[in-house]
Structure 1
């Protein structure tokens, strides 16, 4: 930052005059961003009667309560332009990945920076699927919950529970440089936790589901894909040679892929914040699950389902929308702070439609069509978002509320 009173001839800078002191400051602009700490140089004497807590003599603070215009890190992982409906993983358009890739292949891309070769993908998929099995204590752990416990409450607790089983993954026990040494052993330890977390996530989710259904747990099968294994664990009730519906498998895999990364959303930020203390990765993921739980984040999916259930059938949609306009009802799944379009989700929706009629799906379609023709919602740019289209009729086994 330039000295007070100086000006810069560089166009890649911001000139700020502090009217409290009359001083002028030059702040560099790098990658269309300025450093918040640069404003610490903008100091002023505390005025008579001013709050001591303002600490004006220690520099100017930057206030952004909702992180509406704050970049906390640089990343090449994901790019989003919500207004244009653009989502890219490592430079690849999400539409291309959804059509030509799988969830695990895209997960590899996000984690390691490039799409895997055939041998790399085989190894990655095998390790993840092999790590889907949980310790036998997990069954007792899930049975300790009430039959009507919320699945996200159980899943959050289950991830925290996993942290107690893998001391090798805990920097508190193995040393603060466990994941930062950069040697082969450190990277291998990191990879094992990646395999375990991704592999066990679906198993734990399926166990939470089956507790709600009063069913016995299912051991992850062999020979099925990641999404198919998840559906199998949720829906298998003893049928001989049972395999999940391939249409639902494709829809679920695509939905997993689309949701794999959305920049620094609430749950991702929570994981990074928690992990920065060098806690074990399972505890960090548990914290992320707790953030995801809320109705203003991942819980929005559930809010949409509850809304559709309350509407009941397509014939009730007009009355519901009128109640929304009068602020008597809440419209869930429309509008978003970042995403303004959700066209890609229609692909998985089409898969879901091919599995048969469902009144909830018909209600969702009727709600979409009516809202998109209504000037009230058009003017307010309240279009259906990703949360709206991740509804029960697509994958009914998943949506337990």
Structure 2
């Protein structure tokens, strides 16, 4: 069950499960983790490509471009009938995507790029690349590290969704796995898919405060208003998304650790959820 996997496993164990069809034993786990963490660096020339983007470019546009460009550095990835080449492409994608995401983020906010540190965990290394700066020490908060790892697990696989379908469609043409994943990321950007997360946050900002929820719900019910309730409902889960309970618990843990239990957007989201679920 998803509760067991999210509660007892790390993200790389779930990657192994999805690739191999079973969870790794202790030896397999150590070998797989080591292999992934030894492939975290990207070619230095990727930085020149990165600098071609505007500073205010959307991070998903940058990430789509970076992943697509990465395929140019690994021409052997085109040998899709070679099991070894397929396997190394899998490892490279798992290992290097956090580095590319951090590059896109750092570029957007104007901070120096932080290189991977392979003695950290997969998620801890990602957090350091995202939030460390050269001018001060950065220590990974274990509560936040575990929370982010759990979020990775909850998003690792979700049947035949839009981005998965896109990757499979691209792959069916015989393109290399890295290019296929770039296509999937472009699909994930869409507001009806991964972009819904961003849309939900924007919606909360637009509502502004708890006392404006009732008026917002009225607008949602008015079919002529064009206002949509984002973050509620799912094409697969008609009643309740089983991942939501774990995400809620994780959110509480993070906000408590950061002393943000009374965060404005969090309280607004909780109040909106309560009203939306009670309202028919």
Q: TM-score, normalised by structure 2?
A: 0.92
Taking the aligned partners of 2:181 and 2:219, their CA distance within structure 1 comes to 39
Taking the aligned partners of 1:322 and 1:261, their CA distance within structure 2 comes to 35
373, 389, 393: which is aligned to 2:278?
373
SS in 1 for 2:91: helix
Taking the aligned partners of 1:228 and 1:281, their CA distance within structure 2 comes to 26
Match in the other structure for 1:352 = 254
SS in 1 for 2:90: helix
Taking the aligned partners of 1:221 and 1:215, their CA distance within structure 2 comes to 18
Matches within 5 A, 1:209-220: 209-220=105-116
SS in 1 for 2:115: coil
Match in the other structure for 1:335 = 233
Return closer, same or farther for 1:315/1:228 CA change in 2, 3 Å cut-off. farther
Match in the other structure for 2:13 = 105
Unaligned runs of 5+ in 1: 1-92, 172-177, 180-185, 377-401
Decide which structure has greater strand share: 1
Unaligned runs of 5+ in 2: none
Question: 1:368: Cα distance to partner?
Answer: 1.1
Aligned residues between the structures: 271
Question: 1:102: Cα distance to partner?
Answer: 1.0
**1:116-158 Cα distance to aligned partner (Å, 9 max, x none):** 0111111111121221111111111111101111111111111
Matches within 5 A, 1:1-400: 93-171=1-79, 178-179=80-81, 186-238=82-134, 240-327=136-223, 328=225, 329-340=227-238, 341=240, 342-354=244-256, 355-357=258-260, 358-374=263-279, 376=280
Question: 1:217: Cα distance to partner?
Answer: 0.7
Check the 8 A contact 2:40/2:118 in 1, yes or no. no
SS in 2 for 1:164: helix
Taking the aligned partners of 2:237 and 2:154, their CA distance within structure 1 comes to 13
Taking the aligned partners of 1:261 and 1:129, their CA distance within structure 2 comes to 21
More relative contact order, 1 or 2 (CA 8 Å, 6+ apart) = 2
Taking the aligned partners of 2:175 and 2:90, their CA distance within structure 1 comes to 15
Taking the aligned partners of 2:143 and 2:208, their CA distance within structure 1 comes to 26
Question: 1:239: Cα distance to partner?
Answer: 5.1
RMSD: 1.5
Check the 8 A contact 1:139/1:217 in 2, yes or no. no
Question: 1:285: Cα distance to partner?
Answer: 0.5
Q: Which ranges of 4 or more aligned residues in structure 1 deviate by more than 3 Å?
A: none
Name which of structure 1's ranges 345-354 and 160-169 shifts more when overlaid on structure 2: 345-354
Match in the other structure for 1:45 = none
**1:337-362 Cα distance to aligned partner (Å, 9 max, x none):** 10231323222222222122222212
Check the 8 A contact 1:270/1:287 in 2, yes or no. yes
* Higher radius of gyration, 1 or 2: 1
Taking the aligned partners of 2:275 and 2:70, their CA distance within structure 1 comes to 46
Check the 8 A contact 1:109/1:115 in 2, yes or no. yes
Check the 8 A contact 2:123/2:148 in 1, yes or no. yes
